[in-house]
Amino acid sequence: MMKIRLSASILIALGLAGCAHVSSTVSAPPAGNELTRAQFVAQVSDYFGWYHASGYNDYWKVPLRTFADVNAEDPYGKQIENAYEENVISPDARGRFNPAARMTREDAAVIFAKAYFLPTPSDTSALNAFSDAGAISYAAKPSVAALVAAGFMPGRTRSTFAPAAAITAAEAQAVFRAVAAKSAVVVQAMPKQAAAHLTLLPEGAGSAGAAGRVDDATFQRLLADRNYAPRRFIHLTSPTPGATIYYTTDGTDPRTSLTRVPYDVTATGHIQELVGERSGAKGPQPYRLVTWKTVAVKNGVAVSPVRTFRWNLVRPWQSVYGADVVEPGNFDPARGPVTPKVTRLYSDAESVRSMAWLIEGPQSAVVFDALQTPWNSTDQLGGTLYDKVRTLTTKPLKLVIGHAHGDHIAQAQNFLDAGVPVYANHRSWAGLAAVLATKDHIRQVRNVQEGDQFDLGTDAMPLKFDVWTPPGHENSLVMIHDKVSGFLFSTDFYGCTRMGTADNVGITGARADLLLSLLMQAKAGYMSNGGRLTRLFTGHDEAGLPGEHVDMFHQLLQNVVDQQEAANSPTLRSSDAPRARTTITGNMFTDLYDWAAINLGGVFGTTPYTYLSSPNAAASSHPTIDFTQPNAHLKYAVLGNIELTGATLVGTTVTWAAPNPQVTLSDGSLWPTTGPVPNSLTNKFNPFVFAYTVKVPAGTTRIGVTPIPLASKARRVTVNGTDALPRTPVSVAVANGAVLTIVVTAPDGVTTETYRLTVATE
């Protein structure tokens, strides 16, 4: 093959410069098993497990640098962009990567050396064995020498390196194998560290005193670059199977330091780094540079090179409330269905940066949730959350509290002071009272319950939100749903997919099976009468999630009902109890919004956790089954819901926990005066109540019955002896006083439960 020596300017004109250095030769397109530049870089990216930014939900990720001739949708496009983000490749003067050109062996060596973080020697005498060493470009020689000296990349022959020849697939794989046989592979980290091509905080930034302060010009450049995040939950990996990862946070060498810490995600979860404290307490400075030095160790091979990661963290001491329109809404019926305008509300000064939502209709508006900053704090510039909302809308306003955790209720007092009606489910009043100016103010808060509606429209422009109040993340959840737009506002429930905070939804109160049953019933309610479920707005996602996320959340609960402990893995988050039970579906690094996780509580692998409720001893055929015992879930023969077409089920009261305490007011009286607030819902299907009344309109002769078992592996379900197919109604004849029989056979194929529905004609 003819090789032509060209100047750098000619190479740039031909588009062949732009790997990690300027190549000195031009060859024909690849043939046989020779690799193109795109193919080779894809192999490197896949081997190291680099994640593309399009695959994970991280509001703080730095926009990707791109090449003029590569799109993410191209073959290997994402892997090429990954490699650019990892700083192992770079563009030519025209911003191109030239993906279809051959990957030369010397360019491959440069990429390998960068990807493996190999120290490059000043002494390149290892190349003296090659007769063509002089043909290796000056820029590539240190990398080639490092690989050759370590025994990772041999010459093409014993006496030649062939720097300008295309690397073959076999040669590339041989390098991967050679490194793996001799050394642990350098550590990788997610979320991605601060971008090195943008502003970085100096070492020590964020510590107490003058040494930790950064000049304003540097800080303003950092903010302009948006090369920071408020907090990070850090996850470390190595491509070396079985390697132990060590890290230090004090700048010492992790190979030898007495302060090094072993990283074990199964024991600690993803490690939290933030400015100040999660509780809201401030740090010494409103910024902090987090520096980790890492190493991978495995018996029988060399220790990996040390890799240093840096994350810029910023949480301002003071901030104005932010407001971004995420859904423009439609108030013109001539243009289509009326839908709400949705604006997200947040504060960068808050430690967990929760979301509140301004939901505007044609006539009035709702603020959903009230964030974390205390109502009387001076940390918010430009006024309170109420003041901010009033710059966005002058419509009549209501505040709805989604649940009573501190990062969602703190500004409620300011709405009360402004005369805005504040609504919260009465199960939350004890928690909400604690953050108001006085506990006596709780008497001004209005109860909102399942079955209520918030009407934001007019007769000509209708817009109504139905209220749902299941248990789950906290006993007082309030969710609101518009059937027309399909928008569901769910506070800290159904999803939190921010990869950068390793989000999982804590589940408390109701056991998994009872919660799943109540959520099945809620989903049926969302979809009834032509309802839709299109977007899900949570308390910790900056954007609306796809409506299908609700089904993913249900699947998590289904997994623990079906598998119990086997469905769990240790915690995602170091701020949870070590090894707390976590159930995950999907991958937070690759599935964008299509992943979810719940934390059920208790420590994984120790004290058994009770996932399943006890059968009702008065009604069950098998009241003595102890579902905490191994494999007892195989005897699980109960329904999660019964959906009816042409009829209405008369429900019962479902209670999942002891009542909530009353609030003690300043005069010693208790609120509410009716007594402790029950943790229960009325007119619900209860899986452990086996006799119900079904109301049918006069003249009805047939109805549809869709029984939905709680155990997805239930062996058989019949309605009046007819097998019921999954999610398919069985048509049955009805008459006043008739009894319909539903028999559920558990996964063990033996245990059964029978439900009896008595028909009552209206």
Q: What's 45-113 look like in SS3?
A: HHHHCCCCHHHECCCCCCCCCCCCCCCCCCCCHHHHHHHHHCCCCCCCCCCCCCCCCECEHHHHHHHHH
Percent of the chain topping pLDDT 70:
93
Fold for domain 319-603? Answer: Metallo-beta-lactamase; Chain A (3.60.15)
Residue with tokens 């040669």: 171
104 vs 477: CA distance, rounded Å: 60
pLDDT grade, residue 336 (50/70/90)?
A: very high
pLDDT at residue 18, as a whole number: 36
| DSSP state letters, 301-347 | SBPPPPEEEEEEEE--SSEEEEEEEEE--B--GGGSS-B-EEEEEEE
Amino acid at the residue 383? G
Residue with tokens 């360019």: 107
Is pLDDT at 24 greater than 50 in this prediction?
no
Are the beta carbons of 546 and 535 closer than 8 angstroms? yes
Q: What is the mean pLDDT of the chain?
A: 91
Q: For residue 2, how many other CB atoms are within 10 A of its CB?
A: 7
Q: For residue 438, how many other CB atoms are within 10 A of its CB?
A: 10
Is pLDDT at 577 greater than 80 in this prediction?
no
494 vs 536: CA distance, rounded Å: 8
pLDDT grade, residue 44 (50/70/90)?
A: very high
- Mean pLDDT, residues 344-369: 97
What is the residue extent of each domain of the chain? Answer: 8-182, 188-314, 319-603, 632-651+686-761
- Mean pLDDT, residues 556-563: 93
254 vs 334: CA distance, rounded Å: 66
Mean pLDDT check: name the lowest of 81-90, 212-221, 492-501: 492-501
330 vs 642: CA distance, rounded Å: 36
Provide CATH code, domain 632-651+686-761: 2.60.40.2340
Is pLDDT at 22 greater than 70 in this prediction?
no
- Mean pLDDT, residues 679-689: 95
Percent of the chain topping pLDDT 90:
81
pLDDT at residue 202, as a whole number: 95
Beta bridge partners of 183: 302
181 vs 57: CA distance, rounded Å: 35
- Tokens at residue 196, please? 């090195």
Are the beta carbons of 52 and 81 closer than 8 angstroms? yes
Coil, strand or helix at 560: helix
Determine the distance from the C-alpha atom of residue 585 to the mean position of all C-alpha atoms in its chain, rounded to a whole number: 10
Is pLDDT at 134 greater than 80 in this prediction?
yes
- Mean pLDDT, residues 356-380: 96
Q: For residue 659, how many other CB atoms are within 10 A of its CB?
A: 14
* 667-683 exposure pattern, b = at least 16 Cβ within 10 A, e = fewer: eeeebeeeeebbbebee
310 vs 290: CA distance, rounded Å: 6
pLDDT grade, residue 13 (50/70/90)?
A: very low
Is pLDDT at 436 greater than 70 in this prediction?
yes
| 284-to-219, 312, 416, 485, 507 alpha-carbon distances in Å | 15, 15, 34, 46, 34
250 vs 584: CA distance, rounded Å: 33
Rg for the chain (alpha carbons), in Å? 31
- Mean pLDDT, residues 25-29: 39
CA dihedral 151, 156, 160, 161 (to 10 degrees): -60
pLDDT at residue 11, as a whole number: 30
| 689-to-512, 557, 620 alpha-carbon distances in Å | 17, 21, 8
402 vs 33: CA distance, rounded Å: 59
- Mean pLDDT, residues 623-646: 84
pLDDT at residue 622, as a whole number: 62
Nearest to 402 by CA among 422, 416, 378: 422
* 382-399 exposure pattern, b = at least 16 Cβ within 10 A, e = fewer: eebbbebbeebeeeebbb
pLDDT per residue as tens digits for the range 404-435: 999 999 999 999 999 999 999 999 999 999 99
Q: For residue 410, how many other CB atoms are within 10 A of its CB?
A: 24
- Mean pLDDT, residues 503-532: 93
Is pLDDT at 623 greater than 80 in this prediction?
no
Amino acid at the residue 90? S
pLDDT per residue as tens digits for the range 51-82: 999 999 999 999 999 999 999 999 999 999 99
- Mean pLDDT, residues 693-705: 97
| 677-to-167, 323, 379, 755 alpha-carbon distances in Å | 72, 35, 35, 30
CA dihedral 202, 206, 212, 213 (to 10 degrees): 80
- Mean pLDDT, residues 481-507: 91
pLDDT grade, residue 616 (50/70/90)?
A: low
Coil, strand or helix at 428: helix
Secondary structure (H, E, C), 133-192 = HHHCCCCCHHHHHHHHHHCCCCCCCCCCCCCCCECEHHHHHHHHHHHHHHECCCCEEECC
| DSSP state letters, 728-745 | -PEEEE--TT-EEEEEEE
Which regions of 511-638 does DSSP assign to beta strands (E)? 535-538, 545-546, 580-585, 596-603
pLDDT grade, residue 32 (50/70/90)?
A: low
